[in-house]
Amino acid sequence: MSASRMCEGRVVVVTGAGRGLGRAHALAFAAEGARVVVNDLGVGLDGRPGAGSPADRVAAEIRAVGGEAVAHAGDIATTEGAASLIGTALETYGRLDTLVGNAGFLRDRMLVNLDEDDWDDVLRVHLKGHFLPLKHAAAHWRAEAKAGRTPEARIVATSSGAGLLGSVGQGNYSAAKAGIVGLTLVAAAELARYGVQVNAIAPAARTRMTERTFAAAMAAPGGGFDAMAPENVSPLVVWLGSAASAGVTGRVFETEGGRITVMEGWRPGPTADKGARWHVAELDQVVRELLAGSRTPAPVYGATTL
């Protein structure tokens, strides 16, 4: 167990916590003294039904080392499942302090081969699966604030580099993860009055979803630093989910190995203002001059240079 106990007394919900990043987050919060609701539907990498209950296993793992945890196996992309998730925290531990959105799966296809169901299912689990638990948690925290018990509440959402830059073959996933950033910014603005801080991370780590991408990035020989271990991401998530992060909200952090980067989103670049409507014939020169004075965008993941 950690010596700092940064989250002593806090109750933390982590979605998709049965494996990979979610499991690492749940264990890290427990090590810092939090009581954890471990949510996982137990599906396979593609979101289809799987065997066993990973949520039960992680909750048992936390209890085995003296922590407190309860499993929740509901579908948090449904109103009933999301309400049940927040209700489990309140009924079991009497409070809720932090919500970590992490659940997701992949259905990778090039856009011309991407089925409508694969689009809908990925948007559903990632984006709707962030929105619905957030909505129910926020309703609870708003009620607490209106009753004069303003919380030190935290929400940590999980985006991706694919959501910030795009990723070839992952149009559905990239769109969902970009949507999570937009949701984070709106939630941070709307919920601040109720004592709720909302931030997002864009992690890079070796999980079921990325094991092919990071197959070559194995642990360093001789037990050295494994830069792609999911446990590397969890310290930032725990800090953002703790009271220690006071004043930090509406931010996106990219994190990989030992590196943390504050991501800076869309900002106005070079501008031309005629003060009247442009003629189409004028724009070739104007737009090209604007682009020449702008920063070159980072390449989309997986894009080839022509």
Q: List the structure tokens of 184.
A: 């984070």
Residue type, 187: A
Angle CA(278)–CA(280)–CA(281) in degrees, nearest 5? 110
Q: List the structure tokens of 208.
A: 């079921």
The tokens 């940064």 sit on which residue?
A: 6
Catalytic residue among 159, 177, 242, 245: 177
In DSSP terms, 49 is beta-bridged to 43
Q: How many CB atoms lie within 10 A of CB 272?
A: 13
The tokens 């992680």 sit on which residue?
A: 58
Q: At what angle do helices 54-64 and 20-31 cross, to 10 degrees?
A: 20
Whether 294 is a known active-site residue: answer no
Residues 15, 39 contacting (CB under 8 angstroms): yes
Catalytic residue among 93, 159, 167, 173: 173
| Dist. CA 39–CA 58, nearest whole Å | 9
Catalytic residue among 84, 159, 160, 234: 160
Whether 177 is a known active-site residue: answer yes
| Dist. CA 65–CA 1, nearest whole Å | 8
| Dist. CA 35–CA 37, nearest whole Å | 7
Terminal C-alpha separation, the chain: 52
| Dist. CA 125–CA 119, nearest whole Å | 10
Whether 160 is a known active-site residue: answer yes
Do strands 68-72 and 35-39 pair parallel, antiparallel, or not at all (unpaired)?
Answer: parallel
Active site residues: 160, 173, 177
